[in-house]
Amino acid sequence: MSEAARITVHGDDPYDVVIGTGVLAELPALVGERARTVAVVYSENLPEIARPVAGALEQAGYLAHLVPVPDGEAAKNVSVLAGLWSRFAELGVTRSDAVVGVGGGATTDLAGFAAASWLRGVRCVLVPTTLLAMVDAAVGGKTGINIAEGKNLVGAFAPPAGVLCDLATLMTVPHEDYISGLAETIKAGFIRDPRILELVEADPEGAARPDGPHTRELVERAIQVKADVVGADLKESGLREILNYGHTLAHAIEKSEDYRFRHGHAVSIGCVFAAELARLDGRIDDKLVERHRAVFSSVGLPVSYRAEAWDELRATMNVDKKTRGATLRFVVLDELASCGRLAGPSEELLRSAYAEVAR
């Protein structure tokens, strides 16, 4: 067990993100003393992680119940959510009890929304098990599910009571999924903390491994970026939008691929697209755009997508959450670690930027 680091996410309901290796003993303190029954919602592919979580809770005196859900984005639909509500009723989960979500970003999104909507809100602690979930999904209080019309269109802002990031679980993550999580980490470097980029550039091979020399620092820095932003703007009224850098195109790609395309891979392409938009709009230079391509590709992330997909992607982007009325809005860089907004770009500009990432 390593000494745990704590990053506090400030706001109306502040909470801690605990980071370390072998830190499961920290979980009961995050669940709190009021709860008696705890529903441990976990990805069905992770029983070897979920069982010790339930064991740690039972050892601390809770009645812990394992509640499996489908793996990945298949969990984020209304029928699975309704099944959780029914299970919570069967288990007798009351307002003073708690939900613990164990798994990747889809599982933590679902568990968080289930907790937020059950009895109008019960305590929720998240135990993310992937890099993507640690640096993105589990921190910030965004919860939700997908519908046929788009990703994350139904949900709620509901900050967890705590987040436990045990870096030991990263060793169980398939290589391509780990690489996918690096996209959100690198994104945090471009929008807020360039030191992340420097660490990746200095050792791309090490950055691409969970046992790399800078893994903990990369995780902590990416979480700190998100904590600083969401602590100042929980409900995405302004600043928080910068976390969606690259996500307008990314979400369109994911929908086009019926959510079988890894989120981080889509974000990588989306960030390069956003950089090209900023360059064509006269905001950043060629060098910063090329840095996007170089850093993302150095760890094995894609930086291009199908040329023939543009019309479908463009139509999907109209449903993006940052759209205001009929005006499409993008988060772009004005310079490294400084974000701006691009509202209502011309169709010619959009098509020209996409041509730069098309293959």
Q: Residues marked as binding?
A: 71-76, 105-109, 129-130, 142, 151, 169-172, 184, 247, 263
3-class secondary structure per residue, the chain: CCCCEEEEECCCCCEEEEEECCCHHHHHHHHCCCCCEEEEEEECCCHHHHHHHHHHHHHCCCEEEEEEECCHHHHCCHHHHHHHHHHHHHHCCCCCCEEEEEECHHHHHHHHHHHHHHHHCCEEEEEECCHHHHHHHCCCCEEEEEECCEEEEEEEECCCCEEEEEHHHHHHCCHHHHHHHHHHHHHHHHHCCHHHHHHHHHCHHHHCCCCCCCHHHHHHHHHHHHHHHHHHCCCCCCHHHHHHCCHHHHHHHHHHCCCCCCHHHHHHHHHHHHHHHHHHCCCCCHHHHHHHHHHHHHCCCCCCECHHHHHHHHHHHCCCCCCECCECEEEEEEECCEEEEEECCCHHHHHHHHHCCEC
Q: Which of 258, 251, 240 is nearest to 274 (CA)?
A: 251
104 close to 132: Cβ distance less than 8 angstroms = yes
Binding residues for NAD(+): 71-76, 105-109, 129-130, 142, 151, 169-172
Binding residues for Zn(2+): 184, 247, 263
